[in-house]
Amino acid sequence: MKILSVNTAKPKTIIWEGKNIKTSIFKTSVEGPQKVSYLKVGDDTQCELKFHGGRNKAIYSYDYSYYEIWKSKIEHKNWSYGIFGENLTTEGLADDIIKIGNIYQAGSVIFKAIQPRIPCFKLNLPFRRNDMLNMFYNSKNYGTYFRVIKEGNIESGNSIKLIEESPCPYTISDLVEIYATRGKNQQLLINILDSPFFPEEIRQNYTKFLL
């Protein structure tokens, strides 16, 4: 497992469907060591802190294997790292191997898997298509948000090491499955909600799927 690219962005305003939209989704690859704090990677800046950023969303990773899937589904001219709004484009760190609570190290940064990324309509913007958000939801490849346990520096090319495996039996993909199917597997949903490993924001979002 390794980091292929570290990506950051400053807020910018674009016109989308006749409206001015302020966003930090247009991330680009940055070279050299990047300082990772408890709240962000490098000089990355989130726009709407009510929905983005915070301790449980300090780092967002998206695996390059998903890029390959998307390339077979849609046409797009520029598949540069960071196009999905991720801070880390990874290799070998897909959602189905990440248990909630797994702790990893890359460079001198230690970070803990917390939850999948649930995007808003702004995911449509880099792709310039109105259906990208819905396709993303249906893809079940959401990527992972991490909480920073130890601040430090990371850079492209760093290996990613699992330093503590979580006792939680559920993966990021399990949570994605519940979200994408709106709780079709009710027993899995109940088990997840009964688990002590999830932050309150997940419980609030997922309780609505109980029948």
pTM above 0.85, yes or no: yes
Strand order in the sheet with 28-30: 28-30, 2-8, 88-91, 59-63, 144-150, 109-116, 103-106, 160-164
Q: Domain residues of the chain, as ranges?
A: 2-168
- Measured distance CA(149)–CA(164) in Å, rounded: 12
Reported CATH class of domain 2-168: mainly beta
- Measured distance CA(100)–CA(146) in Å, rounded: 10
- Measured distance CA(18)–CA(82) in Å, rounded: 25
Q: What is the pLDDT of residues 54-78, one digit of tens each?
A: 899 999 999 999 999 999 999 999 9
Rounded to the nearest integer, the mean pLDDT of the chain is 94
Q: What is the pLDDT of residues 152-167, one digit of tens each?
A: 999 999 999 999 999 9
